[in-house]
């Protein structure tokens, strides 16, 4: 049985139990797109959350106008205090634009919209809506460290489904990238990033005080950007990671819109921006070579692990992905992070008012 500690406190699911946790003082932010609406995974998540009974559930919704009404009716069918924030509404768009907050849309932007209203509770939990194995223990496990003196908690789990290893972007891009950075740069933030067993997991919880200080990446760099700010505001001492056990959710193709190749650009950008924030200068050309070496070594380790467990493993396909991800390594793009809510030029009340008006208009039409 595995019970090894990392530099961040690691809480293991040594028994199948739901710990006591302050769910009644927590807001759960569940971003959704048209892809999840009405799906079995999202339905399971919301049905399960009803049994968890959090103080509120905030759903930042990215959807076309014709889907907003059906989405609201579907969400109202769950026994939950749900607040819907339509992220594509014209009034909300105008509010953001008037204050210089317009720009790239993506998961991170949606989460930022949801975090504002969630700050009214003592704790905030964020997780995806496409989890087919969602358990009522997840929220409690994520919140447990916060009730015991920690400010930030992140979930981790093994991505093994259909007799294959998944978690490809983490295994084949992020882990070897951080290993390659650690070979040259001696900085505690790199040790911090390397301490998380699944740094790209979308499940985390934090105190409202810490959430109010997050500079949110607009797109798929959300998870790594969150870790960078969690290090700045909580460090090793106030951070924990929690075993969520069995975990299954939808897979993405490598190529195509919203595929892993596109996501890799955002993950690399966010990782290197964390280092830039610390004043670390990176030789990107040399980093690509070190990344390839580290990734190929890890592919060999994954192949052995898969064989040990009788799993299917396509070494050539994994190495092809390494080459795809290597193309993403370069200087980070311009910094488009959204500001911490503590410093936001708009108020939560303004955001709520705009989003509510947009929702009413979309439904009335």
Q: Is the pLDDT of residue 345 over 70?
A: yes
pTM over 0.85: yes
Is the pLDDT at 54 greater than 90? The verdict is yes
How far, in Å, CA of 341 to CA of 352, rounded?
A: 14
pLDDT for the residue numbered 268: 96
Q: Which band of pLDDT confidence, cut at 50, 70 and 90, is reported for residue 314?
A: very high
Per-residue pLDDT tens over the stretch 277-298 = 999 999 999 999 999 999 999 9
- Domain edges within the chain: 6-157+201-250+339-365, 165-196+252-333
User: With 60 as the cut, is the pLDDT of residue 255 above it?
Assistant: no
Percent with pLDDT over 90 in the chain: 80
* Other beta carbons within 10 Å of 119: 16
**pLDDT higher than threshold 80 for residue 333:** yes
Structure tokens at 327: 């193309």
Residues 13-25: tens digit of each pLDDT: 999 899 999 999 9
Tokens representing residue 6 in the block? 């990392």
State pLDDT tens for residues 317-329. 999 999 999 999 9
Q: What is the CA radius of gyration of the chain?
A: 20
pLDDT digits (tens, 9 = 90+) for 131-167: 878 888 999 999 999 999 999 999 999 888 889 998 8
Query: What per-residue confidence (pLDDT) applies to 334?
Result: 85
Q: Domain 6-157+201-250+339-365, CATH 3.90.550.10 — does that match? A: yes
| DSSP string for 247-273 | --B----SSSTT-HHHHHHHHHHHHHH
Q: Which long-range contacts (CB under 8 A, 24 or more apart) does 252-259 make?
A: 254/168, 254/321, 254/324
- Answer whether 59's CB lies under 8 Å from 75's CB: yes
């Amino acid at each position: 049985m595995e019970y090894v500690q990392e530099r961040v406190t690691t809480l293991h699911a040594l028994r199948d139990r739901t710990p006591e946790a302050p769910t009644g003082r927590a807001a759960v932010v569940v971003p959704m797109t048209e892809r999840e609406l009405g799906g079995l995974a999202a339905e399971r998540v919301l049905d399960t959350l009803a049994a968890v009974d959090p103080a509120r559930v905030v759903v930042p919704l990215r959807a076309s106008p014709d889907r907003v009404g059906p989405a609201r009716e579907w969400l109202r069918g769950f026994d939950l205090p749900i607040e819907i924030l339509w992220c594509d509404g014209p009034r909300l768009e105008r509010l953001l634009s008037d204050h210089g907050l317009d720009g790239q849309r993506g998961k991170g932007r949606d989460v930022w919209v949801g975090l504002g209203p969630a700050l009214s509770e003592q704790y905030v939990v964020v997780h995806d809506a496409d989890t087919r194995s969602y358990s009522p223990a997840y929220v409690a496990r994520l919140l447990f460290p916060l009730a015991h003196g920690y400010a930030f908690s992140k979930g981790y789990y093994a991505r093994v489904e259909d007799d294959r290893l998944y978690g490809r972007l983490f295994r084949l891009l992020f882990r070897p990238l951080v290993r390659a950075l650690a070979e040259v740069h001696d900085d505690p933030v790199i040790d911090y990033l390397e301490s998380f067993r699944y740094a790209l997991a979308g499940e985390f919880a934090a105190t409202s005080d810490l959430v109010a200080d997050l500079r949110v990446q607009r797109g798929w760099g959300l998870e790594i950007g969150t870790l960078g700010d969690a290090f700045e505001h909580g460090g090793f001492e106030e951070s924990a990671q929690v075993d969520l056990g069995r975990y299954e959710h939808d897979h993405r193709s490598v190529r195509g819109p919203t595929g892993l190749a596109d996501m890799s650009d955002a993950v690399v950008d966010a990782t290197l921006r964390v280092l830039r924030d610390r004043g670390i200068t990176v030789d990107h050309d040399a980093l690509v070579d070190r990344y390839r070496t580290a990734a190929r070594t890890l592919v060999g380790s994954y192949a052995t692990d898969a064989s040990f467990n009788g799993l299917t493993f396509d070494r050539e396909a994994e190495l092809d992905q390494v080459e795809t991800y290597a193309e993403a390594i370069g200087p980070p793009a311009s910094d488009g992070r959204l500001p911490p809510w503590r410093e936001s030029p708009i108020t939560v009340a303004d955001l709520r008012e705009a989003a509510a008006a947009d929702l009413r208009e979309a439904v009335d039409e």
